[in-house]
């Protein structure tokens, strides 16, 4: 369920998606936010007094029930289906999100506008973010990018990467970077984040290895380990929030990618 909220009503919003929690604040909806996960950390000052209800995968349903949200925002990748089914027992409006590429942020903004557009400043903030997104996409499209084979690592022990139909891989494609392996994960599930054995023949042909800052926090101590995995590649640390969080970070993430690809 995701019915629009009348302008006169005061929604009680719980966000179980870190990037969308940040989006709600950017849209001026902070006063209506009654719950978040422990991973919803940006912007810190605005969220300090908002109660935490566990993590994205282990939501404290009893605490959330006591907070009596009218809307709970979830995500196909971030949250478990069984959590969503349990929420349906006591939450009037379940808002399901699933951006699968940077362009999908436009639909996400439209979704938030339909739900909460009656609140002061929301329509204006949506218009601003939509314009920023369109401009950032246009800046990427205006350049011709040399094709590169890219390994984007999100975890180690075991090594884990991203399938080509994930938001991250489609972000990378905006600057001509094709993620490897040549895998498609489907709408949801573990296949979206393939595990590597470390001896795949194609690793020798990778041009660039990107070590994400999340969910595993890679640092300089992992550079040589990743270099050994792909001896011919350029290995670098990247800001995982800019490349995987949608909402207000989408435009900045695209510009960040352009800088990486141009360096």
- pLDDT over 70 percentage in the chain: 97
Does the pLDDT value for residue 6 go beyond 60?
Answer: no
**Residue ranges in the chain assigned as alpha helix (H):** 18-26, 44-47, 61-67, 81-87, 105-116, 122-141, 167-172, 223-229, 240-244, 250-262
Task: Find, among 122, 128, 133, 115, the residue nearest to 30 by Cα.
Answer: 122
Q: Are the beta carbons of 126 and 109 closer than 8 angstroms?
A: yes
Return d(Cα 28, Cα 119) in angstroms, integer.
8
Give the pLDDT confidence of 62-105 residue by residue, as tens digits: 999 999 999 999 999 999 999 999 999 999 999 999 999 999 99
Cβ-based neighbour number of residue 52 at 10 Å: 15
Q: Domain residues of the chain, as ranges? A: 13-139, 148-262
Give the pLDDT confidence of 117-173 residue by residue, as tens digits: 999 999 999 999 999 999 999 999 999 999 999 999 999 999 999 999 999 999 999
Q: How confident is the model at residue 8 (pLDDT cuts 50, 70, 90)?
A: low
Same topology between domain 13-139 and domain 148-262? yes
Answer yes or no: pTM beyond 0.95.
no
Task: Find, among 249, 240, 253, the residue nearest to 23 by Cα.
Answer: 249
- pLDDT over 90 percentage in the chain: 94
The number of angstroms, rounded, from the C-alpha of 180 to the middle of its chain's C-alpha atoms is 19
Give the pLDDT confidence of 35-63 residue by residue, as tens digits: 999 999 999 999 999 999 999 999 999 99
Return d(Cα 64, Cα 13) in angstroms, integer.
11
CATH class of 13-139: alpha beta
Q: Are the beta carbons of 91 and 32 closer than 8 angstroms?
A: no
User: Is the N-terminal amide bond of 80 cis, ω within 30° of 0?
Assistant: no
Return d(Cα 151, Cα 259) in angstroms, integer.
18
Instruction: Determine the average pLDDT of the residues in 21-36.
Output: 98
> How do 234-238 and 208-212 pair as beta strands?
parallel
Residues 6+ apart with CB under 8 A from 58: none
Pick the CATH number of 148-262 from 3.90.1150.10, 3.40.50.1980, 3.40.50.1860, 1.10.10.10: 3.40.50.1980
Task: Find, among 2, 249, 248, the residue nearest to 114 by Cα.
Answer: 2
Residues forming a β-bridge with 236: 210
């Amino acid at each position: 369920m995701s019915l629009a909220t009348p302008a006169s009503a005061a929604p009680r919003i719980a966000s179980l998606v870190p990037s969308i929690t940040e989006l709600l604040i950017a849209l001026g909806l902070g006063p209506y936010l009654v719950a978040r996960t422990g991973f919803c950390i940006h912007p810190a000052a605005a969220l300090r007094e908002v109660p935490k209800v566990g993590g994205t995968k282990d939501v404290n349903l009893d605490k959330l029930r006591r907070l009596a949200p009218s809307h709970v925002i979830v995500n196909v990748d971030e949250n478990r289906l069984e959590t969503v089914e349990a929420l349906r027992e006591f939450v009037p409006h379940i808002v399901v999100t699933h951006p699968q590429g940077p362009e999908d942020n436009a639909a996400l903004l439209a979704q938030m506008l339909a739900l909460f557009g009656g609140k002061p400043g929301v329509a204006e903030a949506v218009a601003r973010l939509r314009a920023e997104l369109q401009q950032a996409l246009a800046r990427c499209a205006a350049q011709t990018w040399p094709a590169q084979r890219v390994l984007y690592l999100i975890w180690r022990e075991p090594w884990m990467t991203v399938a080509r139909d994930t938001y991250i891989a489609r972000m990378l494609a905006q600057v001509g970077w094709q993620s490897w392996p040549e895998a498609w994960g489907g709408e949801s599930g573990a296949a979206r984040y393939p595990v590597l054995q470390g001896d795949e023949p194609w690793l020798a042909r990778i041009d660039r290895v990107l070590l994400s800052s999340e969910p595993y926090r890679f640092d300089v101590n992992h550079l040589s380990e990743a270099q050994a995995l792909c001896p011919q590649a350029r290995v670098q640390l990247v800001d995982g929030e800019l490349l995987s969080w949608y909402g207000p970070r989408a435009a900045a993430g695209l510009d960040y990618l352009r800088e990486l690809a141009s360096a």
